[in-house]
Structure 1
Amino acid sequence: MAPRVAILFDNFGPYHIARMLGAAAPLDVVAIEATPRGTEYGWDKPVVPAPLHYLPLAGAGTLREIVAELDSKLTPLAPAAIALPGWSSRAAFAALIWARQRKVPAILMSETNGWDFARKPIAEWVKRRIVAHYSAGLVTSDSQARYLVDLGLNADAIFRGYNAVDNAYFASTSANATMPEGLPETPHGRYFLTSNRFIEKKNLARLLDAYAAFRRGRSDDPADWPLVLLGDGALRAALETQRKALRLERHVLMPGFRQIDELPRFYGTAGAFVHASTTEQWGLVVNEAMASGLPVAISNRCGCAEVLVEDGVTGLLFDPFDTAAITRVLTRLTATDESAAFAAHGRARVDAWGPARFGSGMAEAVRAAVAAPAGPNGMDRAMLNLVARRR
Structure 2
Amino acid sequence: MKRLAIVATHPIQYNVPWFRRLAVQEGIEVCVFYTWHADEKAKYDPHFDREIAWDIPLLNGYDYQLVAPRPTVKQKTFWNLNSDITGPIKAWGADAILVLGWNYRSHLRAMRYFSGRIPVYFRGDSTLLDTQNGIRRRLRKIFLRYVYSCVDTAFFVGINNYDYFQKYGLNKNQLTFAPHAIDNQRFSNDAIAHETEANRWRTSLGIPADSVVFLFVGKLIQKKSPEILLRAFQKLPHKNKQHLIFVGDGECEADLKKQASNAANVHFVPFQNQSRMPVVYRLGDVMCLPSAGPGETWGLAVNEAMASGRTVIVSDKVGCARDLVADESIGHIHKANSVESLYVAMQKCCERNRLLLKGTHCGRFIDRWSCEQLAANIGNKLRSAA
Q: 1:134 maps to which residue? A: 151
Q: 2:239 maps to which residue? A: 218
Q: 2:283 maps to which residue? A: 269
Q: Is the 8 A contact 1:18 1:166 kept in 2?
A: yes
CA–CA distance in 1 between the matches of 2:109 and 2:250? 30
Q: Name the Cα RMSD after superposition.
A: 2.6
- The one-letter code matched in structure 2 to 1:32 is F
Which residue of 104, 113, 119 maps to 1:89?
104
Q: Is the 8 A contact 1:175 1:268 kept in 2?
A: no
Cα deviation, residue 335, structure 1: 2.0
Q: 2:226 maps to which residue? A: 204
TM-score by length of 1: 0.83
CA–CA distance in 2 between the matches of 1:186 and 1:77? 58
Q: Is the 8 A contact 1:6 1:30 kept in 2?
A: yes
Cα deviation, residue 43, structure 1: 4.3
Q: 1:251 maps to which residue? A: 265
- The one-letter code matched in structure 1 to 2:249 is D
Cα deviation, residue 185, structure 1: 4.7
1:164-203 alignment, distance < 5 Å: 164-177=181-194, 178-179=197-198, 180=201, 183-187=205-209, 190-203=212-225
- The one-letter code matched in structure 2 to 1:290 is M
- Which one scores higher on RCO, CA 8 angstroms, separation ≥ 6? 1
Q: Is the 8 A contact 1:113 1:303 kept in 2?
A: yes
Pick which of 143-152 and 324-333 moved more: 324-333
Q: Is the 8 A contact 2:210 2:352 kept in 1?
A: no
Cα deviation, residue 169, structure 1: 0.6
Q: Is the 8 A contact 1:313 1:341 kept in 2?
A: no
Pick which of 175-184 and 354-363 moved more: 175-184
Q: Is the 8 A contact 1:86 1:108 kept in 2?
A: yes
Deviation per CA, 1:313-359: give whole Å up to 9, x if none. 21111112221222222232222354234213222221111111210
CA–CA distance in 1 between the matches of 2:19 and 2:354? 36
- The one-letter code matched in structure 2 to 1:31 is V
CA–CA distance in 2 between the matches of 1:150 and 1:259? 38
Count of aligned residue pairs for this structure pair: 359
CA–CA distance in 2 between the matches of 1:213 and 1:124? 42
Cα deviation, residue 50, structure 1: 4.6
Cα deviation, residue 277, structure 1: 0.7
CA–CA distance in 1 between the matches of 2:276 and 2:366? 21
Identify if the C-alpha distance between structure 1 residues 350 and 285 changes in structure 2 by more than 3 Å, giving closer, same or farther: same
Q: 1:144 maps to which residue? A: 161
Q: 1:19 maps to which residue? A: 18
CA–CA distance in 2 between the matches of 1:189 and 1:103? 60
Q: 1:281 maps to which residue? A: 297
- The one-letter code matched in structure 1 to 2:132 is A
Identify if the C-alpha distance between structure 1 residues 196 and 355 changes in structure 2 by more than 3 Å, giving closer, same or farther: same
Aligned-residue identity in percent: 20
Pick which of 181-190 and 52-61 moved more: 181-190
Cα deviation, residue 49, structure 1: 4.8
Unmatched runs of 5 consecutive residues or more in structure 1: 372-391
- The one-letter code matched in structure 2 to 1:146 is D
Cα deviation, residue 65, structure 1: 7.8
- The one-letter code matched in structure 1 to 2:346 is L
1:297-336 alignment, distance < 5 Å: 297-336=313-352
Cα deviation, residue 162, structure 1: 4.1
